[in-house]
Amino acid sequence: MTYSIALNFEDGVTRFIDCKVGEKVLDAAFRQRINLPMDCSDGVCGTCKCRCENGAYDLGDDYIEDALSEDEAQERQVLTCQMVPQSDCVLAVPVPSSACKTGTGHFAASVTRITRHADAALEVSFELDQAPVFLPGQYVNIDVPGSGQTRSYSFSSRPGQKHASFLIKHVPGGLMNGWLECAQETEKVDITGPLGSFYLRTVTRPLLFLAGGTGLAPFLSMLEVLAERDEKQKISLIYGVTRDQDLVMVEALEAFAARLPNFSFVTCVADPQTRHPRQGYVTQHMDADMLNDGSVDVYLCGPPPMVDAVRQYFKDQGVTPAGFYYEKFTPNPIVTGDAA
Ligand code: FES
């Protein structure tokens, strides 16, 4: 038996290592050729300090206070030369991946399907040469063939399979859109990743997902994982778009609602001319039940003004969610953050 340890480096790169039962993280990383920061490997210097964002672990008792204080331990700081995982874990490593002689994973991918949703979005599926391991919500950079440039997209499919899907906003004249207009099935692209700190944390309280437009993609990946594990916490999603035709993948959400009894969603359209029953922005369709007096983890993926509007909404309501994780997307690049 092994545990999967996600190492999230300062530059946004995520690498996964397997850790045997009873094995220290630093040893597991070196075994897999990732040179995590270290000096003494004896719990004395503190050089290997990281923060464990998720998962259960034994801190060990063979280190000194100078290396890791009680307060730091309370804040889930760990010494990787001492830490022994007791479950899958996510570690924030405070140095760039290159400093650990590692970097992003590379995948060769072939287009298997392109589904066009009028002028709103495209669903694009790829077959990869190996199954990517990622945390649901993370993204990759996809090379736009012939341009020397990449574009960033969140997985909408679940981790651990060779098949990967993405929901791509239709941008008239956009680089990726231009290529996809002419792309044939089996065309090849290079993909690098996974990247980003917007991912599903351990679920310990109700979840509120807020999606703006194609910001729905990471939630589709998260819902796949939540449905597979038959998550019992309440999960609410508000999916807001600008125009009626931008509401895509609603059937997929209905299918999740059928699989996951605790999941419900509403959609809304900002266009004042809409005939949709819920006009307006996501903040106009949040209710007290969803906010659960602040005992809720909020995940938001949408354009920057949406992130600002939601923050202001919480302020106005006097509610501070227990966890607030967001990903601001513009056509490029993606910016992630958390206010947990
Ligand atoms: Fe010195 Fe871990 S390497 S405390």
Q: Ligand 1: which atom is nearest the Cα of residue 41?
A: 3
User: Residue 340 and residue 338: Cα distance in Å, rounded?
Assistant: 6
Contact status, residue 153 vs residue 162, Cβ threshold 8 Å: no
Average pLDDT, the chain: 93
Sheet strands (E) in the chain: 2-9, 14-20, 49-54, 57-58, 77-79, 84-85, 89-93, 105-117, 121-128, 139-144, 149-154, 163-169, 188-195, 207-212, 235-241, 263-269, 297-302, 323-329, 334-338
Sheet strands (E) in 21-146: 49-54, 57-58, 77-79, 84-85, 89-93, 105-117, 121-128, 139-144
Output Rg (C-alpha) for the chain, integer angstroms.
21
Q: Ligand 1: which atom is nearest the Cα of residue 43?
A: 4
Contact status, residue 155 vs residue 166, Cβ threshold 8 Å: yes
Q: Which of 24, 30, 45, 77 is the best mutation target for the ligand 1 pocket, counting ligand atoms within 8 Å of the beta carbon and taking the most?
A: 45
Tens of pLDDT, residue by residue over 205-225, are: 999 999 999 999 999 999 999
Tens of pLDDT, residue by residue over 127-152, are: 999 999 899 999 999 999 989 999 99
How many Cβ atoms from other residues are within 10 Å of residue 262's Cβ? 15
Q: Which of 27, 30, 35, 40 is the best mutation target for the ligand 1 pocket, counting ligand atoms within 8 Å of the beta carbon and taking the most?
A: 40
Query: Which protein residues touch ligand 1 with a CB less than 6 Å away?
Result: 38-41, 43-48, 67, 79, 81
Q: Taking the complete model, does pTM exceed 0.85, yes or no?
A: yes
Tens of pLDDT, residue by residue over 2-55, are: 999 999 999 989 999 999 999 999 999 999 999 999 999 999 999 999 999 999
**What is the rounded (10 degree) CA torsion for 121, 198, 81, 34?**
20
**What is the rounded (10 degree) CA torsion for 331, 335, 339, 340?**
100
Tens of pLDDT, residue by residue over 248-292, are: 999 999 999 999 999 999 999 999 999 999 999 999 999 999 999
Scored b (16 or more CB within 10 A) or e, 92-113 reads bbeeebeebebebbebebebee
Question: With bands split at pLDDT 50, 70 and 90, how would you rate the model's confidence at 333?
Answer: very low
Classify 102 as helix, strand or coil: coil
